[in-house]
């Protein structure tokens, strides 16, 4: 989230109004409906990226035999967003100006980060776990019981107080098309009178507007095809391209307007791991991504198109430049082919590259440790790298996957997802933590515009900790009670506070 010349508003501090809640529990003294009366995940529990020991393309397995990915307007939007985009265009370097969109946690002080009651949020540059899941219910994290605090305004206030400025909402294509009504029993509707539970898009609309009240932008993430099929491409046997594009039309028609001025765009497809790039085949992402983006721009020319990468295997020179090592792209991370088969949109300056990059808790990549031996999914017999060597490995792989794009300046680079276990890191020398911190260093370099941390929800689950041990560990930006912030992780994210021009999402008039 930083780069060369950028034209943005001066950094604005959140209002220090004595009536503004510092944590969700403080918001108890206010009624949601008194502020907004009109109410119009990725589940990581079994997601494991698994490059085979032979070096074949990575896959994710799911208990039950299926891959984890398989389960798992108007042409004028509000004038606030429209004017902001003019600022981006005038700045001419999109990579330098989109920084105002995405900041992770920019915390004034640790006292503001704690929850004093129960609650939930989505985020990001917190990510929400997720409106993408199960057919008739609200996903984990969005459910609020009688003993919990309201989702909408209390958590929006918490995020604003802790200086989040963007949320990535994972969505389900089938649910968008069916607009199916969530299970109202999973939300405390008495405490959430501003949250619409009559339909899927109604719920989405009310969450977006609650975040808008706190000047938090929203990225609409096309995360899964159906509640049971994440999809490695934008189509499948169960969902056609026509249906996928129709879902884009629904979002543009219902959310590209003044009421939802804080929507910044669409993440075109989460983790298109089964897609190719530039081969003119049926799953060619160099064809599919522009097709989806142009459909979005037809319905809402003010939005931005966030494009992830595909997956393949690569080799790089070793640290001493005498040997080579192999690596497999993180799902969503491989943008190498953009250099030879670039994505071309119908409107210029609308492309944002949104690659993913994780710590070894997501999957034990061999390049994160020294002399490791592959034992199925695990890495055994390894030695942890020194800080300097690990930095070189992270720098080299991020540069090869997507960092080289900074020299082209065709679009901003925003990490669509990054993270992993932090506070619960079981490496003796804290390799998980160090990789996350080094990833933030990368996201702070010129040509980048920050990224979205996965995820806020405490039930975000990882299977490797450390790389020679398989199990189940959960961690988010709040603890399991939704009552206490994960202070070590939030403190680590303050590394991004050094990025210039960071501010709440502005409404420019």
pLDDT on residue 155: 76
The rounded distance, in Å, linking the Cα atoms of 302 and 158 is 28
Q: Please tell me the least confidently modeled range out of 78-82, 133-137, 186-190, 194-198.
A: 78-82
Which of the listed ranges 15-19, 369-373, 493-497 does the model predict with the highest average pLDDT? 369-373
What are the boundaries of each domain within the chain? 24-107+121-498
The pTM of the full predicted model, rounded to 2 decimals, is: 0.75
Beta-sheet strands, E only, within 202-343: 217-224, 263-267, 304-307, 313-317, 324-328
The rounded distance, in Å, linking the Cα atoms of 411 and 419 is 23
pLDDT on residue 286: 98
Tokens found for residue 192: 């959430």
CB contact burial 294-311 (16+ within 10 A = b; e otherwise): bbbbbbbbbbbbbbbbbb
Closest listed residue to residue 214, CA positions, set 506, 449, 453, 509: 506
pLDDT on residue 70: 39
Residues 117-126 have pLDDT tens digits of 222 222 334 4
- What 3-state DSSP class applies to 113? helix
pLDDT on residue 419: 97
The rounded distance, in Å, linking the Cα atoms of 27 and 38 is 19
pLDDT on residue 322: 67
Three-state helix/strand/coil letters over 168-200: EEEEEHHHHHHCCCCCHHHCCCCCCCCCCCCCH
Residues 136-153 have pLDDT tens digits of 333 333 333 333 334 567
Beta-sheet strands, E only, within 54-128: 59-60, 126-127
Instruction: Tell me what the pLDDT averaged over the chain comes to.
Output: 74
Are 195 and 36 within 8 A, CB to CB? no
Q: Is the pLDDT of residue 7 over 60?
A: no
Are 484 and 478 within 8 A, CB to CB? yes
Where do runs of H (alpha helix) occur along 305-416?
Answer: 387-401
The rounded distance, in Å, linking the Cα atoms of 30 and 21 is 9
DSSP-assigned letter for residue 1: -
Residues 201-240 have pLDDT tens digits of 999 999 999 999 999 999 999 999 999 999 999 999 999 9
The two beta strands, 412-419 and 351-353, are parallel
pLDDT on residue 409: 74
Measured between alpha carbons, how far apart are the two ends of the chain, in Å? 24
The two beta strands, 313-317 and 378-380, are unpaired
pLDDT on residue 351: 97
500 pLDDT tier (thresholds 50, 70, 90): confident
Q: Please tell me the least confidently modeled range out of 261-270, 400-409, 427-436.
A: 400-409
What integer is the mean pLDDT of 472-478? 93
pLDDT on residue 127: 55
What integer is the mean pLDDT of 324-329? 92
The rounded distance, in Å, linking the Cα atoms of 395 and 27 is 42
The rounded distance, in Å, linking the Cα atoms of 1 and 448 is 5
Higher-scoring residue by pLDDT: 409, 357: 357
Residues 13-64 have pLDDT tens digits of 333 343 333 333 332 222 222 222 222 333 333 333 333 222 332 333 333 4
DSSP-assigned letter for residue 334: B
Q: Is the pLDDT of residue 355 over 70?
A: yes
Other Cβ atoms less than 10 A from the Cβ of 238: the count is 12
85 pLDDT tier (thresholds 50, 70, 90): very low
What integer is the mean pLDDT of 177-199? 80
What integer is the mean pLDDT of 246-274? 98
The rounded distance, in Å, linking the Cα atoms of 48 and 30 is 42
Q: Is the pLDDT of residue 4 over 80?
A: no
Which positions ≥6 away from 263 have C-beta within 8 Å? 77, 81, 208, 217, 218, 219, 220, 255, 256, 303
- What 3-state DSSP class applies to 276? strand
pLDDT on residue 103: 31
% of the chain with per-residue pLDDT over 90? 53
DSSP-assigned letter for residue 277: S
Q: Is the pLDDT of residue 269 over 60?
A: yes
pLDDT on residue 422: 98
Q: Please tell me the least confidently modeled range out of 281-285, 403-407, 481-485.
A: 481-485
Three-state helix/strand/coil letters over 431-463: HHHHHHHHHHHHHCCECEEEEEEECCCCCCEEE
Is 3.10.520.10 the CATH classification of the domain at 24-107+121-498?
A: no
Q: Is the pLDDT of residue 77 over 70?
A: no
> From the DSSP assignment, how many helices (H) and strands (E) are in the chain?
12, 19
> Which residues sit opposite 355 in a β-bridge?
none
Are 170 and 221 within 8 A, CB to CB? yes
Higher-scoring residue by pLDDT: 88, 364: 364
324 pLDDT tier (thresholds 50, 70, 90): confident
Which of the listed ranges 3-7, 162-166, 385-389 does the model predict with the highest average pLDDT? 385-389
What integer is the mean pLDDT of 378-387? 98
The rounded distance, in Å, linking the Cα atoms of 360 and 368 is 7
């Amino acid at each position: 989230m930083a780069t060369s010349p950028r034209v943005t508003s001066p950094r604005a501090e959140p209002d220090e109004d004595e009536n503004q809640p510092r944590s969700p529990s403080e918001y108890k003294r206010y009624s949601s409906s008194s502020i907004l009366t009109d109410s119009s995940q990725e589940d990581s529990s079994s997601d494991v990226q698994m490059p085979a020991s032979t070096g074949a393309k990575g896959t994710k397995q799911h208990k039950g035999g299926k891959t984890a990915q398989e389960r798992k307007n108007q042409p004028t939007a509000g004038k606030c967003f429209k004017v902001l985009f003019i600022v981006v265009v005038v700045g001419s370097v999109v990579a330098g100006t989109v920084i105002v969109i995405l900041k992770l946690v920019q915390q004034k002080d640790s006292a503001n980060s704690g929850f004093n009651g129960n609650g939930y949020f989505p985020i990001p540059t917190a990510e929400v776990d997720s409106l993408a899941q199960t057919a008739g219910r609200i996903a984990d994290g969005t459910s609020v019981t009688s003993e919990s605090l309201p989702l909408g305004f209390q958590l929006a206030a918490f995020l604003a107080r802790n200086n989040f400025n963007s949320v990535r909402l994972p969505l389900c294509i089938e649910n968008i098309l069916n607009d199916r009504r969530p299970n109202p029993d999973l939300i405390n509707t008495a405490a959430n009178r501003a949250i619409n539970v009559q339909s899927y898009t109604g719920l989405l609309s009310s969450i977006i507007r609650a975040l808008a009240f706190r000047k938090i932008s929203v990225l609409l993430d096309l995360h899964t095809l159906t509640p049971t099929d994440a999809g490695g491409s934008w189509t499948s046997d169960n969902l056609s391209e026509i249906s996928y594009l129709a879902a884009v039309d629904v979002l543009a028609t219902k959310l590209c307007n003044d009421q939802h001025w804080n929507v910044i765009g669409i993440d075109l497809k989460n983790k298109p791991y089964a897609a190719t790039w530039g081969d003119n085949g049926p799953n060619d992402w160099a064809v599919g991504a522009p097709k989806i983006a142009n459909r979005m721009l037809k319905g809402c020319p003010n939005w931005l198109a966030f494009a992830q990468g595909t997956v393949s295997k690569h080799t790089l020179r070793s640290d001493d430049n005498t040997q080579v090592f192999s690596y497999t792209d993180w799902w969503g991370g491989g943008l190498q082919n953009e250099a030879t088969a670039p994505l071309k949109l119908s409107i210029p300056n609308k492309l944002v590259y949104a690659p993913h990059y994780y710590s070894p808790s997501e999957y034990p990549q061999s390049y994160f440790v020294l002399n490791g031996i592959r034992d199925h999914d695990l890495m055994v017999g390894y030695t942890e790298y020194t800080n300097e060597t690990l930095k070189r490995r992270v720098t080299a792989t991020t540069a090869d996957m997507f960092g080289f794009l900074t020299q082209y300046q065709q679009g901003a680079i925003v990490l669509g997802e990054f993270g992993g276990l932090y506070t619960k890191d079981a490496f003796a020398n804290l390799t998980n933590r160090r990789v996350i911190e080094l990833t933030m260093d990368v996201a702070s370099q010129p040509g980048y515009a920050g990224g979205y941390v996965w995820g806020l929800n405490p039930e975000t689950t990882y299977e490797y900790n450390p790389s020679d041990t398989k199990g189940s560990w959960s961690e988010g930006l709040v603890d399991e009670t939704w009552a206490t912030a994960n202070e070590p992780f939030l403190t680590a994210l303050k590394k991004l506070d050094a990025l210039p021009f960071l501010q709440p999402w502005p409404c420019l008039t």
